[in-house]
Amino acid sequence: MKKFLILLFVLINIRSYSQEFFFGDSHIHKPEIISIGHNNLISEEIRYLILKVPDNTIFPMTGIDIKLGPTTKIYQEIDGVYGTEIIDFSAIEFNKNIPNIFKAVSFDQSYGYIYSLTVLSNSGTQLSIENSILSFKITNTNNSSNTYTCLVDNASNTITVDIPSNVNLSDYKYVMTFSDNADVSPINNSTVFLDASNQATITVTSQSGIDRTYTLTANISNNSLAEITKIRIEDSSNSNKFFETDITSTGATTAISIDITTGLDISNYKYIITHSEGSTTIPANNDSVGDLNTSNYKSFGVTSQDRARQNIYNLTINRVEDPTDTNAKLAKITHIRIEDMSDSSIYFETYTDSTGDISPVSLNVTTGLDISNYKYILTHSDGSTTNPINNSSVGDLNTSGSKSIQVTSNDQTNVNTYNLAINRVEIIKRIVSIDKPITLAYFPCWRESWPSEFGNSKLREIPSYVNTIFLSFAKPNMRYEKGSYDISATGIQTPYGGFTLLESINALNNKGIKVILSVGGETYWVGGLAETPNADCFDINYQHIKDFLDDFNIAGIDWDYEPNGQISILSEQFHINKFIEFITKSRAIMPKGEYLIACAPSGVGALGGVGPIPTGVDDPDSPYNNDYGVSLGDIHSTAGAVGTSPATLFGFASSGHFIPVMKAVGDKIDIVAYQGYNVGGSIDRVC
């Protein structure tokens, strides 16, 4: 084979500026960059060139000369097409920070490379060329727990996801992370839209204007469920007249029944059937009940959407005396509230499950508070009556401390009594001192139970040897009006209201347990990304948080920062700055000694990072630097230890993220709750 020696080179020169860039080739049929100036990036696909000019340069500018090898040709890309050969390169216009794309081609057209040339001023900074999707999810707009994680293949620029056919994608949105400073279309959190082929196009544009197009493909699977969950028999002329049954069991054959009034003619009624998405039933929805009026029996068949499964439901009609009046004999009170007549937001309440003839019920009320202007708000059985009645004054309850409340069933056959006793409780001040070792636990407020008739609940029963409780979680963008005790906009998810929450916190304070409000958690930081700095979660009102702490005798706050639910991105400079901002601004209105500020760094916090900040340890002599590859007891920082060591720091994305936070605001922090359970990717880690 005859070999050719091809010399392909390009010299770039600005006539008014002396800096030059050379690139060329000495390989057969293959142009290569030999030498380029400072601040240049080289990739396998595109050669990126940056040329700096004086700050006073007027843009758009021309006058950039290039010199080609004797056989090299050059073309400019316009709207994705490389046009005719460029003869006079000096006439090409360049705008500041906007890359121009060219192709240099060898003489026989067999090899060519793409060059991106960007002109900056001396004080300018190079725009990023990164345009990758890092993660991609399809998430329910109203319930983030309903999420489908997509597979992103950056090599093929494809995104794939499996979604059942019964999912209504109009209720879902795109949730993406992508390269810093890049833009994406459609934008983050926009509604999912697929074409007839169940595909969509996602375009990521780098800061420097380079587009990268991904193809999203949803693999839609048919629903294989064949279930009926409710059968209603409804009057065809009046939908308010019906009989129904809920079905919880499912099998090949399921027996069900509906109670219908004796002697009632239902021949004009129809079926309303609730069944699996995409499935079909025989009889179908809105079919007439036919001879059910006389036979009192009907078999229902349901077939799954994928036709793979069929189940039978055998319905039997039971003729009974007026089954719609099943509550007539109930005499039960489930909720007692005493409420300020002039301000309904001020109240005390208790719940009861008791149904006996005589049931004791207790209600905690602040010591010394005059409740003579309060009234009763009672929740009781449908149709039943109470004495005292709803909205009547509490009367002498303010002084007597007790009241018997009677409830009579609708049919007057049953009467039950609830003996209400008022417990006067002190307002306990918050505990902020740290005078002994801390034993700490998070308490998920959604796991709280209603206080029993003896005033106990899961939160109140925490043992005193746990001397610090992080009450989790409040929304970072919570809203709270001082003195209202209204927790509806705070994110706190206790089953009861603000006054009962105050009683629970006072019960802990009374046992010497510090209560700290944990702000954020995994779900309340949704949308909190560098590319969405104005996300709702960052709309923080620090005064509202302080007012909440003051009203509820809470010692301080714990910043549980997990941006967008991803602890792996905490080492990004944006999130480090946010962490510092949270602590600085909260400490500014919550003086040290009067309020506690805590945080729980995700990942390993300081250990295992590798410099420089923000990505890790910036001290080259630190024994905790990954470069040393040494172990700290059972905690290893070497790649080889990932699969076998009890705990590993190697490769954990947020390693070292808390070092710059401690350097900046460490003197403002009272408690650091080190997350020993988040130390990397070891298979069998313990601490």
pLDDT tens digits for range 191-224: 999 888 889 999 999 877 788 999 999 988 767 7
What mean pLDDT comes out for the span 19-45?
32
Which pLDDT score, from 0 to 100, does residue 112 have?
74
* Nearest residue to 549 (alpha-carbon basis) of 457, 624, 471: 471
Residue 45 vs residues 65, 113, 168, 213, 411: alpha-carbon distances, Å: 24, 7, 40, 16, 84
Model confidence at 45, pLDDT cuts 50, 70, 90, reads: low
What mean pLDDT comes out for the span 343-354?
75
Q: How far apart are CA 517 and CA 554, in angstroms?
A: 7
Q: How far apart are CA 449 and CA 452, in angstroms?
A: 8
Lowest mean pLDDT among 3-7, 136-140, 560-564, 662-666: 3-7
Torsion over CA: 137, 140, 143, 148 (sign): negative
**Residue 337 in this model has a pLDDT that exceeds 60:** yes
Question: In which residue are the tokens 């410099």 written?
Answer: 611
Torsion over CA: 186, 190, 193, 194 (sign): positive
Which pLDDT score, from 0 to 100, does residue 327 have?
59
Model confidence at 343, pLDDT cuts 50, 70, 90, reads: confident
Instruction: Compute the radius of gyration of the chain from its Cα atoms.
Output: 35
Torsion over CA: 625, 631, 636, 640 (sign): positive
What mean pLDDT comes out for the span 348-371?
81
Model confidence at 179, pLDDT cuts 50, 70, 90, reads: very high
> What is the pTM (predicted TM-score) of this model?
0.40
Contact present, 614 and 654 (Cβ < 8 Å): no
Which pLDDT score, from 0 to 100, does residue 85 have?
85
Question: In which residue are the tokens 């209720």 written?
Answer: 171
Query: What percentage of the chain's residues is helix, strand, coil (to nearest 5)?
Result: 10, 40, 50
Lowest mean pLDDT among 126-140, 377-391, 591-605: 591-605
Q: Mapping DSSP to helix (H, G, I), strand (E, B) and coil, where does residue 143 land?
A: coil
**Residue 118 in this model has a pLDDT that exceeds 90:** no
Contact present, 430 and 515 (Cβ < 8 Å): yes
Q: Are strands 41-42 and 46-53 parallel, antiparallel or unpaired?
A: antiparallel
Rounded percentage of the chain residues whose pLDDT exceeds 70 = 78
Which pLDDT score, from 0 to 100, does residue 58 have?
80
Which pLDDT score, from 0 to 100, does residue 676 have?
63
Residue 381 vs residues 339, 356, 640: alpha-carbon distances, Å: 20, 14, 66
**Residue 37 in this model has a pLDDT that exceeds 70:** no
* Nearest residue to 434 (alpha-carbon basis) of 674, 677, 669: 669
pLDDT per residue over 429-438, tens digit each? 677 888 888 9
The torsion angles phi and psi of 164, rounded to 5 degrees, stand at -65, 155
**Residue 180 in this model has a pLDDT that exceeds 50:** yes
Which pLDDT score, from 0 to 100, does residue 549 have?
94
Which pLDDT score, from 0 to 100, does residue 479 have?
95
Which pLDDT score, from 0 to 100, does residue 606 have?
55
Model confidence at 119, pLDDT cuts 50, 70, 90, reads: confident
- First vs last C-alpha separation in the chain: 65
Lowest mean pLDDT among 169-173, 320-324, 380-384, 509-513: 320-324
Model confidence at 121, pLDDT cuts 50, 70, 90, reads: low
pLDDT per residue over 441-461, tens digit each? 999 999 999 887 666 889 999
Which pLDDT score, from 0 to 100, does residue 595 have?
94
Provide the mean pLDDT of the chain.
79
Question: In which residue are the tokens 């003896």 written?
Answer: 454
Lowest mean pLDDT among 74-83, 474-483, 659-668: 74-83
pLDDT per residue over 543-581, tens digit each? 999 999 988 999 999 999 889 888 778 778 898 899 999
271: Cα separation from own chain's centroid: 40
**Residue 189 in this model has a pLDDT that exceeds 80:** yes
Q: How far apart are CA 17 and CA 121, in angstroms?
A: 12
* Nearest residue to 212 (alpha-carbon basis) of 201, 226, 227, 200: 201
Model confidence at 326, pLDDT cuts 50, 70, 90, reads: low
670: Cα separation from own chain's centroid: 28
Residue 532 has a CB neighbour count (10 Å cut-off) of 16
Torsion of the alpha carbons at 61, 67, 68 and 70, rounded to the nearest 10? 140
Residue 598 vs residues 76, 388, 445: alpha-carbon distances, Å: 57, 48, 18
CA atoms within 13 A on the CB side of 232: 13
**Residue 300 in this model has a pLDDT that exceeds 60:** yes
Q: How far apart are CA 200 and CA 194, in angstroms?
A: 5
DSSP class per residue in 118-141: EEEETT--PPP----EEEEEEEES
Which pLDDT score, from 0 to 100, does residue 619 have?
52
Which pLDDT score, from 0 to 100, does residue 20 have?
35
Torsion over CA: 641, 643, 648, 653 (sign): positive
Model confidence at 328, pLDDT cuts 50, 70, 90, reads: low
Q: How far apart are CA 166 and CA 395, in angstroms?
A: 57
What mean pLDDT comes out for the span 278-297?
90
**Residue 519 in this model has a pLDDT that exceeds 90:** yes
The torsion angles phi and psi of 589, rounded to 5 degrees, stand at -115, 0
Q: Mapping DSSP to helix (H, G, I), strand (E, B) and coil, where does residue 449 land?
A: coil
**Residue 33 in this model has a pLDDT that exceeds 90:** no
Residue 181 vs residues 177, 178, 468, 487, 571: alpha-carbon distances, Å: 11, 9, 41, 37, 16
Q: How far apart are CA 427 and CA 424, in angstroms?
A: 10
Contact present, 145 and 217 (Cβ < 8 Å): no
pLDDT per residue over 602-643, tens digit each? 655 555 444 444 444 455 555 555 443 333 333 444 444 444
